[in-house]
Amino acid sequence: MNPRTQRIASLLALFLVVSISQVGIGFAAPETATAVNETPVPQVQNPAGILTTVGNKPITVNDAASVTGATILSGATIETPDGVGATVSLDPRGSLEIEQHTKLTLNFQEKHIKVVLLKGCVTLHTRKGTLGEIETSKDMVSKTDPKKDDVIRVCHPDSVMEASAVVAGPALDLLSMLGVIAAPAAAVVPVVLPGSNPSNSSPE
C-alpha cells in the first residue's frame, strides 16, 4: 500500500469510526432521556386561597390539619373545630370568613366563588365582578351581587341557634386570626409575646 492509499484508508477509517460513534450516540440518547422520567412540575392554575386561622390554631382542610399560611385549592373541604375560626383570602375575588364549628366545601374560579355549607356559619365578601354563592341545600342558595362589592353571612339551618352566640366580637376574632392574641376567651393579658430568638427546644 503506497502512502497516498494509506492516507485515504486512514481518513476513511476515521470517517467510519466517527460515523458509527454518532449512530451509537443517536441510539443512546433517547434511552438517557427516558431514564429520567420525572413528572412535570404542576402549575397553580388560578390564584389559590390563603388560609388564616384564629391564633394560628389548626383546622382541617381535606381531613388534614392546616394552619395559617396554607394554600387552599378549589374543591377543598374545610372544617373548623370549636373555638377556632378561619379566613380564606381569595384575592382578587374576595374572602371567606369561617366561624367556629363549621364545615364546607369551597370552589372558586376566576369570577365565581361557591360555598357549599354543610354546618355552621360563614361570611362571604366578594369584590365587584365576582359572583358569590352559598348553598345550604339544593334549593337554598344565597348570592352576592356581582355589580358591586358585596357581603353575605349565612348559617346552616341546623346551626342557626348556636350562630347567634358566635357573632359577638368580630374585631377580636380578626385580631386573633393574626396570631396577635392567644385565644378569644383569653382574660386580662392575652397577648402573645412573640419570643425573640427561638430556642433549640421543640420546634413548633
In whole angstroms, give the CA distance from residue 176 to residue 57: 10
Q: Binder to another protein among 19, 71, 137, 164 (CB under 8 A)?
A: 71
Cis geometry, peptide bond prior to residue 47 (ω within 30 degrees of 0): no
In whole angstroms, give the CA distance from residue 151 to residue 96: 10
User: Binding pattern to another protein, positions 132-171, x when CB under 8 A?
Assistant: --------------------------------------xx
User: Binding pattern to another protein, positions 7-46, x when CB under 8 A?
Assistant: -------------------------------xx-xxxx--
Q: Binder to another protein among 35, 64, 165, 168 (CB under 8 A)?
A: 64
φ and ψ of 12, to 5 deg: -60, -45
Buried residues in 5-26 as b, exposed as e (16+ CB within 10 A): eeeeeeeeeeeeeeeeeeeeee
Chain residues in the site for another protein (CB under 8 A)? 38-39, 41-44, 47-48, 50, 52, 56, 58, 61-71, 73, 75-76, 89, 91, 170-172, 174-175, 177-181, 188-191, 193-198, 200, 203-204
